């Protein structure tokens, strides 16, 4: 039994417990295992333990390990959770199944163009900078509802939901609450929020998926 497999089981139990405490069905929260910086040899035991949804934050890094893992495990669902440059849109659309970090017009257009070219309509999330942090990606919360509308109606993207990364030093609750409110206003159903340190709180605020790295794979 390897550490990551134990950790995975523990995280799954805690997700189920948090869902129950929130009065939600346990299958209403999905787990995105964040494998950035870890190698295929670290990831394989987690796949063997049944995990199928993974998150990576760099296109190039993901290209180096996932094509081979996919040949072994064809039903993998890979999420891009890091910032995307428009010159990487082609590779991103070819490799990933969900893009969680759409946050500007140029990226929305580049992705839409690639999806048409590759005939691969992927669900996307709009990333919202709930803390208005200068260094952080994401749309201004005040522009989020309008931007979701533009992604849908101008670019023809399938916007599944919203994603956020709250400021590191703050209580995340108000940020999760804001994301939930904006999703309601924008008419999208999914909320990608919560990481190793705060996923139970995120579930209490309605997260439909949590992105968990170090609590499964260990410190980076
Ligand atoms: C790295 C990362 C995570 C996972 O972080 P942990 O604290 O290790 O769980 C989640 N979301 C995003 C966007 C990340 O870049």
Range scoring the smallest mean pLDDT among 2-11, 17-26, 123-132, 203-212: 2-11
Over residues 47-62, mean pLDDT: 98
Q: What whole-number distance in Å separates Cα of residue 205 and Cα of residue 83?
A: 25
Instruction: Give the chain's mean pLDDT.
Output: 97
Render the burial of 29-40: b for 16+ CB within 10 Å, e for the rest: bebbbbbbebee
**175-184 mean pLDDT:** 98
Residues 62-68, mean pLDDT to the nearest whole number? 97
Least confident of 1-10, 16-25, 45-54, 196-205: 1-10
pLDDT for res 2:
65
Ligand 1 center to 213 CA (angstroms): 6
- Tokens representing 118 are 């590759």
Q: What is the mean pLDDT of residues 9-25?
A: 98
pTM of the model: 0.97
Candidates 2, 16, 11; CA nearest to 46 is 2
Asked whether residue 1 carries a pLDDT value surpassing 70, the answer given is no
Ligand 1 contacts CB of residue 7 (under 6 A)? no
Predicted local confidence at residue 104, as pLDDT: 97
| Rounded average pLDDT over 180-189 | 98
**Residue 188 in contact with residue 205, Cβ under 8 Å?**
no
Q: Cβ of 204: how many Cβ atoms within 10 Å?
A: 18
Given pLDDT bands bounded at 50, 70 and 90, which one contains residue 122? Answer: very high
Q: How many CB atoms lie within 10 A of CB 129?
A: 22
CB atoms within 10 A of CB 46: 21
| Phi, psi angles (nearest 5°) of residue 169 | -90, 0
Average pLDDT over residues 157-171: 97
Q: How confident is the model over 144-172, as a mean pLDDT?
A: 98
CA 149 to ligand 1 centroid distance, Å: 27
Q: Does residue 79 line the site of ligand 1, with CB under 6 A?
A: no
Q: Check pLDDT > 80 for residue 183.
A: yes
Distance 195 CA to ligand 1 centre (A): 6
User: Could you give the angle at the alpha carbon of 177 between the alpha carbons of 190 and 123, nearest 5°?
Assistant: 15
């Amino acid at each position: 039994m390897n550490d990551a497999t134990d950790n995975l089981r523990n995280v799954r139990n805690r997700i189920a417990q948090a869902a129950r405490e929130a009065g939600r069905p346990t299958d209403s929260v999905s787990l995105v295992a964040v494998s950035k910086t870890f190698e295929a040899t670290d990831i394989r035991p987690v796949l063997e333990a049944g995990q199928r949804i993974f998150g990576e934050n760099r296109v190039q890094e993901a290209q180096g390990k996932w094509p081979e893992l996919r040949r072994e495990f064809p039903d993998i669902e890979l999420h891009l959770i890091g910032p995307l440059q428009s010159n990487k849109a082609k590779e991103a659309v070819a490799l990933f199944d969900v893009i969680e970090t759409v946050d500007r017009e140029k990226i929305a257009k580049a992705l839409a163009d690639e999806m048409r070219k590759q005939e691969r309509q992927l669900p996307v999330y709009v990333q919202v900078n709930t803390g208005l942090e200068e260094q952080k990606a994401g749309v201004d919360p005040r522009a989020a509802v309008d931007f979701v509308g533009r992604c849908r109606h101008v670019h023809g993207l399938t916007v599944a939901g919203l994603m956020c990364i709250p400021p590191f030093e703050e209580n995340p609750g108000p940020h999760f609450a804001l994301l939930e409110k904006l999703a309601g206003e924008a008419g999208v159903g999914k909320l990608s929020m919560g990481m190793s340190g705060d996923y139970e709180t995120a579930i209490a605020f309605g997260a439909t998926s949590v992105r968990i790295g170090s609590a499964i794979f260990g410190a980076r």
